[in-house]
């Protein structure tokens, strides 16, 4: 149900009589059309900006002038896989199923590695290895030098998450609802934590004091102990799932949601304040720069807030902004938009310095944010009691009613996919 078309856009859905329910697996990201839109986070390296695009290209442009230096064409769109760099080489995945290694100065291909399906995972570099996921369900570990495989680990569904390497372990989520902790050297599973829905994030997780913060499309943010995968707490936020881990600054978690709300939480999950954007839609992960909060939004605005959640200014792009990790450099901010431009603006007041146009001015299409959800009328307690008295169906009927209105936890989950690395 699309609230904008049904009159629910201005209706308070937190009223007791209504609730938003997830009706099917979230697949919005896989249905983005061709075009010139930018849906990734840029990379800054030695005075240059690197980013991928729906027009199949990986671009390198001059950060000062916005002029193109080179472009490299892949065989499909680059949806949400953002570039990473190590020792003068830029690594970027494409929907054509390849992870590419390119010379940062020239754009020449160093190597490429083919997975079994499309790639929508931003890679992580740890030591002399690179880690990323594929929609074939595997987590891959390759050698940085030549792209040769070290190991791969099988999950139960798409892997579109950015992995996080920390103290010899790799943390990565899957569309099978699990957060996995793997040995970074061998790929052996240490533990897994099961949430209630898909896990998808373009940027790495935050880890603080032995706790990792993991979002899920079950609308919960989880705080999990990294040593054993035990839950410390969970906080329910938003209505349409959470697609990015929080930004951790000092003692505050800034958690963005798919319904246009940015939450400020303490490290125990208690709310400090919230900020509502102009329209319902995805808020990208917030960043803190010079003690101000910055983030892009699906409503087409790039926001700047004070540390207590008050709006300072906003910059309006020509379409939605899906940049989870903008670049901050010398009082400038760099981010892309679905209007087919990469922007450079001033961090102090949001004034535009320049914008760079991609090869196509066709805006990529994206399904509505609420497509996998619907508004339903809750059955009140009084109606349930009336139903029981009037239609007593015996033990079997009562069991059916109980199963309909109760939710049971299933966060203890036995490993089914643990395996040795195939390439060792």
Per-residue pLDDT of the chain (424 residues; tens, 9 = 90+): 344 443 444 444 454 566 778 888 888 888 899 999 999 999 999 999 999 999 999 999 999 999 999 999 999 999 999 999 999 999 999 999 999 999 999 999 999 999 999 999 999 999 999 999 999 999 999 999 999 999 999 999 999 999 999 999 999 999 999 999 999 999 999 999 999 999 999 899 999 999 999 999 999 999 999 999 999 999 999 889 998 999 999 999 999 998 899 999 999 999 999 999 977 778 889 999 999 999 999 999 999 999 999 999 999 999 999 999 999 999 999 999 999 999 999 999 999 999 999 999 999 998 888 787 876 766 554 444 444 444 344 444 433 333 333 333 333 333 333 344 333 3
How many other C-beta atoms can be found within 10 angstroms of the C-beta atom of residue 69? Answer: 16
| Dist CA 381 CA 371 (whole Å) | 29
How many other C-beta atoms can be found within 10 angstroms of the C-beta atom of residue 103? Answer: 15
Contact 260, 277 (CB under 8 A): yes
Please state the pTM of the whole predicted model. 0.85
| Dist CA 245 CA 300 (whole Å) | 21
| Dist CA 258 CA 245 (whole Å) | 12
Contact 302, 335 (CB under 8 A): yes
Edge to edge, what strands does the sheet with 252-256 contain? 247-249, 252-256, 261-265, 271-276
- In terms of residues, how long is the chain? 424
- Sole residue written with tokens 């208690």: 270
| Dist CA 326 CA 2 (whole Å) | 29
Residue 294 neighbours by CB under 8 Å, 6+ apart? 286, 287, 288, 302, 303, 304, 305, 326, 328, 333, 347
φ/ψ bin of 107: left (φ > 0), alpha (ψ from -120 to 50), beta (otherwise): left
Residues β-bridged to residue 327: 334
Which helix (DSSP H) or strand (DSSP E) does residue 382 occupy? helix 381-390
| Dist CA 103 CA 14 (whole Å) | 51
Residue 274 main-chain phi, psi, to 5 deg: -140, 155
Q: Across 220-260, where does the E strand assignment appear?
A: 220-225, 231-236, 247-249, 252-256
CATH number for the domain whose boundaries are 29-374: 2.130.10.10
What residues does each domain of the chain span? 29-374
């Amino acid at each position: 149900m699309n609230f904008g078309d049904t009159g629910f856009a201005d209706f308070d859905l937190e009223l007791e009589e209504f609730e938003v329910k997830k009706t099917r697996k979230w697949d919005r990201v896989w249905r983005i059309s061709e075009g010139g839109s930018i849906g990734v986070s840029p990379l800054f390296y030695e005075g240059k900006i690197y980013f991928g695009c729906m027009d199949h290209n990986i671009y390198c442009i001059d950060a000062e002038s916005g002029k193109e230096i080179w472009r490299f064409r892949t065989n499909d769109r680059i949806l949400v896989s953002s570039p990473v760099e190590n020792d003068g080489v830029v690594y970027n995945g494409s929907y054509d199923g390849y992870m590419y290694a390119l010379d940062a100065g020239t754009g020449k291909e160093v190597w490429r590695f083919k997975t079994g399906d499309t790639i929508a995972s931003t890679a992580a570099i740890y030591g002399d290895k690179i880690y990323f996921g594929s929609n074939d369900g595997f987590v891959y570990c390759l050698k940085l030098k030549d792209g040769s495989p070290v190991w791969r680990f099988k999950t139960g569904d798409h892997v579109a998450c950015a992995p996080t390497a920390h103290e010899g372990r790799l943390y990565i989520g899957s569309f099978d609802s699990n957060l996995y902790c793997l040995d970074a050297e061998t790929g052996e599973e240490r533990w897994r934590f099961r949430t209630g829905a898909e896990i998808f994030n373009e940027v790495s997780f935050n880890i603080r004091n032995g706790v990792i913060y993991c979002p899920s499309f079950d609308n919960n943010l989880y705080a999990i102990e990294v040593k054993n995968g035990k839950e410390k707490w969970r906080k329910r936020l938003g209505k349409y799932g959470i697609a990015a881990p929080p930004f951790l600054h000092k003692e505050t978690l800034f958690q963005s949601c798919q319904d246009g709300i940015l939450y400020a939480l303490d490290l125990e999950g208690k709310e400090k304040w919230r900020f509502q954007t102009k329209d319902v839609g995805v808020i990208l992960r917030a960043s803190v720069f010079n003690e101000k909060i910055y983030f892009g939004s699906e409503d087409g605005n790039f926001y700047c807030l004070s540390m207590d959640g008050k709006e300072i200014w906003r910059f309006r792009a020509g379409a939605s902004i899906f940049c989870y990790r903008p670049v901050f450099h010398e009082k400038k901010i760099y981010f892309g938009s679905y209007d087919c431009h990469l922007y450079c603006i001033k961090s102090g007041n949001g004034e535009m310095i320049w914008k760079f146009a991609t090869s196509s001015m066709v805006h990529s299409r994206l399904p509505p944010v609420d497509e996998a959800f619907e508004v339903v009328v809750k059955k009140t307690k009084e109606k349930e009691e009336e139903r029981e008295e009037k239609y007593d169906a015996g033990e079997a009927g009562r069991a059916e009613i109980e199963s309909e209105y109760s939710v049971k936890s299933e966060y203890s989950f036995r490993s089914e996919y643990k395996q040795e690395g195939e390439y060792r």
